Amino acid sequence: MHELAITESLVAAVAERLPDQRISCVRLEIGALSGVVADSVRFCFDLVTEGTSLEGARLEIDEPAAVCHCRVCGTDFEPDWPIVLCPCGSADATVVAGQDLRITSVQVA
């Protein structure tokens, strides 16, 4: 469960960036193709924040869909997870969105 390590890193990064600040909300973006399970991060968040400046903070997660671009027909499409296959049948596609894992904002109490 690498989400525990990811959540620990997230909490450490926020606490390091905003020392001595009480945090009331953290907003994340976890893309559909990021390889991170948002529900697992939610589960780990309360455990990991215990005893830190983030304890009691709200966690809000935006989960944008994946978007791919077909190099054959030029169509942008949402892939059927986990296979990136264009509706035209081509597998020659690039992922253009949905791989991100990032902190989008932090609210200080």
pLDDT in tens, 13-39: 999 999 989 999 999 999 999 999 999
Q: Print the domain residue range for 36.
A: 2-108
Number of independent structural domains in the chain: 1
Q: CA-to-CA distance for 92 and 72, rounded, in angstroms?
A: 7
Q: CA-to-CA distance for 29 and 54, rounded, in angstroms?
A: 18
pTM: 0.84
Amino acid at 98: G
Q: CA-to-CA distance for 45 and 77, rounded, in angstroms?
A: 32
Convert the pLDDT of each residue in 53-107 to its tens digit.
Answer: 999 999 999 999 999 999 999 999 999 877 789 999 999 999 999 999 999 999 9
The CATH number of the domain where 7 resides is what?
3.30.2320.80
Whether the Cβ atoms of residue 45 and residue 36 lie closer than 8 Å to each other: no
